[in-house]
Amino acid sequence: MTATGPAVTVVEVAPRDGLQNEKVELTTAQKRELVGRAVGFGARRVEVTSFVHPRKVPAMADAEALVELLPTDDGIAYSALVLNERGLDRAIDAGVTEINAVVHCTDTFSDRNQGTDIDGGVAIWHRIARTAREAGVTANLTIAVAFGCPFEGEVPVDRLRAILGRVLEEAPTELSLADTIGVAVPKDVRERFAVAADLVPSGLPLRAHFHDTRSCGIANALAAVEAGVTILDASLGGIGGCPFAPNATGNIATEDLAYALDRTGVSHGLDTVALQDAGVWLEGVFGRRLPAMVLHAGGFPGGG
């Protein structure tokens, strides 16, 4: 199907969000190959690692070693997650030029993931934003558990609006809303991104991060595009999940997202043949069937 609608950028997050909660531990060399395969299937933005405490997220303990293996002149934006100033310092020292920071919508989840409450998280973001700007590093922000929390339940829209108002005092390069535990439905997506669109400065891109825990992830991604979101996170094979969220499952699968965007007429810039090959390779590395549906079913019959 020929793309006739809007274009979106897909950020491949398997090397970071995909691997952080998996039992299979990849070597640094395997992670480098995963990143390379993402670039090979057309990803021009790849979240490669996180600079967090290795005891809390052991899978990311080789962050510096992995970044050292990545090209610096290939035109690809390699980003990393940081949760505090120490993580930002490590990322800058490693040569990372784009970071993703996080502010949470509930105190309980924020404490478990970041070791502080919402107020503390907002203050950390303001400091990270200023330091990153001074260092010439692109600083993006994700609002986590923006659709619901495993510990506190519903997240009122008014709370999201209030948090957005506070974090936007130091505007990020782009703003993401994350359904960290996969509870959202398209109605929620349209409602909450409308709030974000109303508050962000003109021209600031909106980004969405969905998990497929309850099989609504792809529908939510399409709803986000309809709501004006131009950047979507996805994970090869659908691997991953949050280590601080009970019963967490992976991000929406890159294979499934590409198929849905293709059939909707939305351009995404990925090579679906190379994408399929990368999924087969990753399934071999993991030694088990991965969640991505299109990886096993293939594309539209007769259409690849």
Catalytic residues: 242
pLDDT value of position 5: 60
The answer as to whether 1 is a domain residue is no
Q: Phi then psi for 247, rounded to 5 degrees?
A: 60, 25
pLDDT value of position 1: 53
Structure tokens at 228: 């004006």
pLDDT value of position 22: 87
Q: Do 82 and 51 touch, CB atoms closer than 8 A?
A: yes
The answer as to whether 266 is a domain residue is yes
What's 56's domain CATH number?
A: 3.20.20.70
Contacts 24+ apart (CB under 8 A), 75-79: 75/44, 76/39, 76/43, 76/44, 76/45, 76/46, 77/44, 77/45, 77/46, 77/138, 78/35, 78/46, 78/48, 79/11, 79/45, 79/46, 79/47, 79/48, 79/138, 79/140
The answer as to whether 303 is a domain residue is no
The answer as to whether 87 is a domain residue is yes
The answer as to whether 173 is a domain residue is yes
Q: Do 255 and 276 touch, CB atoms closer than 8 A?
A: yes
Domain of residue 123: give its range. 9-297
The answer as to whether 172 is a domain residue is yes
The answer as to whether 289 is a domain residue is yes
pLDDT value of position 32: 98
Q: Do 160 and 146 touch, CB atoms closer than 8 A?
A: yes
3-state SS, one letter per residue, for 107-143? HHHHHHHHCCCHHHHHHHHHHHHHHHHHHCCEEEEEE
Reported as type and span, the H/E element at residue 296 is helix 293-297
pLDDT in 10s for each residue of the chain, 304 residues: 555 567 999 999 999 999 998 889 999 999 999 999 999 999 999 999 999 999 889 999 999 999 999 999 999 999 999 999 999 999 999 999 999 999 999 999 999 999 999 999 999 999 999 999 999 999 999 999 999 999 999 999 999 999 999 999 999 999 999 999 999 999 999 999 999 999 999 999 999 999 999 999 999 999 999 999 999 999 999 998 777 677 677 899 999 999 999 999 999 999 999 999 999 999 999 999 999 999 999 999 975 4
The answer as to whether 302 is a domain residue is no
pLDDT value of position 214: 95
Number of domains in the chain: 1
pLDDT value of position 250: 83
Q: Do 18 and 251 touch, CB atoms closer than 8 A?
A: yes
